[in-house]
Structure 1
């Protein structure tokens, strides 16, 4: 594989901008709080004490490094490219979310914060953050849409067992966007004593960069592991994209390489009908949401549009500013998978390889299932299997009448 000539400016710059995206679109009193977090992160994350504690916890608590698995039966069944899975589903708490939640909880501890506040969609970020806060001994409050609470009952139960305060959000569509709004409202009550632990590479600076940095361990591991086992880099690397943290964590290590990077968004029920999908990069346009400039799905009045995905964790009308920038640069190929393709991929991986994926991750699996037969047998696809499907099994069983 030849080295490609991809040249990027620093991402983000000193103002938290990824090209024209990102920044801090917040009121003055909240800007100070964001700047304080940014300054603390820059200082604390570089200390030997912080780095050693995080590394130890990643190894002995999370179970890193997560392995890469060659899905031989699925590859043989499909024909064409060989499919590999980066097994983030094997992490403690069942997804990639623990990677940045541990970092955020440790940062909160080092900053002497009194409460950690966050939103969650599918509940994976909520479970991971409640876990990390229990570990470091800081109270945790999670805001979750009422629709998602009903849909993701196993994760709701876990959060309660772990001791977090769970706030049911009933406004609007009662899903992820409203959960973010609600959590921000609570955070604004005391941004000095509280910290908002954003669950993806979104929001005002420094969160898009900070969450990416904590997630980048995924790509660093994968690059080293794949080279060691295959003697070359993957030809194609694919990950689902809602906010975009698991994809950004994987892609960051490969941005300078001649590797095809694919982000798969939710085409939902109908990608041509606003409100029936959450394919922000595919169908949205540059705008602003939740303190950042990024691609946004907007309604006729210019407000964030209603969105839909079978996967609660991808049900968001915005997207990471860095993904927005990479789309404009053409460095990442953003595609989509429908609810039906995702559900089929969920069942196929479960029954062919004995691995039940999260519905979010199944979007990436769907792309691989569709694409592998069109590629040569000497080509490779690496899927970031960002989470396991324990949380989704009851929902899927009801959908399919299992």
Structure 2
């Protein structure tokens, strides 16, 4: 299915209403202008679009299917559907924009792609795309997330990426972004920062959204073919918000479709540093080169954040999400750690699908909507699979959910 990239926003300066833009040093702005021009040429280039479509079909395995979760539907009294981005090659939605960014980097003559990663899915996807098109790849990842998401670290290294531990601050996603930005500023000529979500300076919030909009474009057609109508509700988790914008973008003009973004409430919404609910509790601010809702500390700096899902613990959110919140088109709610883990096990045991912890936040919120009596159908963007999370979940929650023995890690004899 061809991605049409037809969107009214952002404006020429990269703003979605008052959010977005490009708050970066002037010398870096020249590089961003070059990227913007190259991307504009690529999205209008039939050959670029044809190559991307070929890779989506034959490399990624698109279109990803929609699955009617009949067991969950019967249990909760509402029709629940899953957009199965977890079935993509590399196991998540991230490959959608990583392929586009890698092809763009190749067009620009870059030698290397660099990026941050939290849960490791963006890192794996970018390492995969870099290997495919013949680019070097550096991935910056917090030490906490390296330990937590060890399977994805191994995958990145097998694919040839250089995984660089980030050792300052909380050693998670925000610090990984800081480190990747610093590396990019040191050499914006031979390398490109392949940002992993709908965040950062213009054109990245637009560009990543456009590459991810294939999710919503497919879902719109698929759901109507399955049911004869559009879904009544959309639900997706929101950290930076790329998987959510990918689904939401095709339905924004359909006012009968209620749209829900789900932020991580972590251990407590009441305690600073124990959640990452940027839209729910944040205020407008500038970080990492763009303006958006962000969580601030007493000094107005980015607040420390936390989530059980490494891919969601970021103190800001994509600027288009901020705009959609302000105009009331999308409702943003939260799911906490315990709700997400409960949903992780419920989807696994009811439907035989192990979701990523990030995606489990969306599942948890959809189940809450059902409990609150929402009517009609719910389409959840199942943004990733949970292979990367099983060791962490078993070690930290296994006893609670009846897993009596931890999975033993064996080494081959020498």
TM-score relative to the length of structure 2: 0.94
Question: 1:375 Cα deviation (Å)?
Answer: 3.1
**Counterpart check, 1:384 vs 2:381:** yes
Task: Show the counterpart of 1:248.
Answer: 245
Question: 1:44 Cα deviation (Å)?
Answer: 2.2
Among candidates 391, 396, 399, match of residue 393 of structure 2:
396
**Deviations 1:275-324, CA, capped at 9 Å, x for gaps:** 00000000000001100000010001111000010000000001000000
Task: Show the counterpart of 2:119.
Answer: 122
Task: Show the counterpart of 1:32.
Answer: 30
Task: Show the counterpart of 1:171.
Answer: 168
Once residues 269 and 33 of structure 1 are traced to their aligned partners in structure 2, the CA distance between those partners, rounded to angstroms, is 40
Q: For residue 15 of structure 1, give the secondary structure of its aligned residue in structure 2.
A: coil
Task: Show the counterpart of 1:6.
Answer: none
Among candidates 222, 239, 258, match of residue 260 of structure 1:
258
Q: For residue 357 of structure 1, give the secondary structure of its aligned residue in structure 2.
A: coil
Q: For residue 131 of structure 2, give the secondary structure of its aligned residue in structure 1.
A: helix
Task: Show the counterpart of 2:267.
Answer: 269
> Do the aligned residues in 2 keep the contact of 1:82 with 1:372 (CA within 8 Å)?
no
Once residues 171 and 252 of structure 1 are traced to their aligned partners in structure 2, the CA distance between those partners, rounded to angstroms, is 36
Question: 1:111 Cα deviation (Å)?
Answer: 1.1
Task: Show the counterpart of 1:19.
Answer: 17
Displaced runs of 4 or more, over 6 A: none
Q: For residue 107 of structure 1, give the secondary structure of its aligned residue in structure 2.
A: helix
Once residues 170 and 58 of structure 2 are traced to their aligned partners in structure 1, the CA distance between those partners, rounded to angstroms, is 39
Once residues 111 and 380 of structure 1 are traced to their aligned partners in structure 2, the CA distance between those partners, rounded to angstroms, is 44
Number of residue pairs the alignment of both structures matches: 393
Question: 1:45 Cα deviation (Å)?
Answer: 2.6
Instruction: Report which structure shows greater RCO (CA 8 Å, sep ≥6).
Output: 1
> Do the aligned residues in 2 keep the contact of 1:120 with 1:179 (CA within 8 Å)?
yes
Q: For residue 242 of structure 1, give the secondary structure of its aligned residue in structure 2.
A: coil
**Counterpart check, 1:215 vs 2:204:** no
**Equivalent residue runs for 1:299-310 within 5 Å:** 299-310=297-308
Once residues 96 and 285 of structure 1 are traced to their aligned partners in structure 2, the CA distance between those partners, rounded to angstroms, is 28
Among candidates 320, 324, 329, match of residue 318 of structure 2:
320
Q: For residue 381 of structure 2, give the secondary structure of its aligned residue in structure 1.
A: strand
> Do the aligned residues in 2 keep the contact of 1:208 with 1:321 (CA within 8 Å)?
yes
Among candidates 44, 47, 60, match of residue 45 of structure 2:
47
**Counterpart check, 1:369 vs 2:367:** yes
Question: 1:373 Cα deviation (Å)?
Answer: 3.5
Q: For residue 322 of structure 2, give the secondary structure of its aligned residue in structure 1.
A: helix
Among candidates 233, 236, 239, match of residue 239 of structure 1:
236
RMSD: 1.1
Once residues 166 and 216 of structure 1 are traced to their aligned partners in structure 2, the CA distance between those partners, rounded to angstroms, is 28
Q: For residue 385 of structure 2, give the secondary structure of its aligned residue in structure 1.
A: coil
Listed as ranges, the gaps of 5+ residues in structure 2 are 1-6, 404-414
Q: Which moved more, 1:201-210 or 1:367-376?
A: 367-376
Once residues 312 and 138 of structure 1 are traced to their aligned partners in structure 2, the CA distance between those partners, rounded to angstroms, is 26
Listed as ranges, the gaps of 5+ residues in structure 1 are 1-8
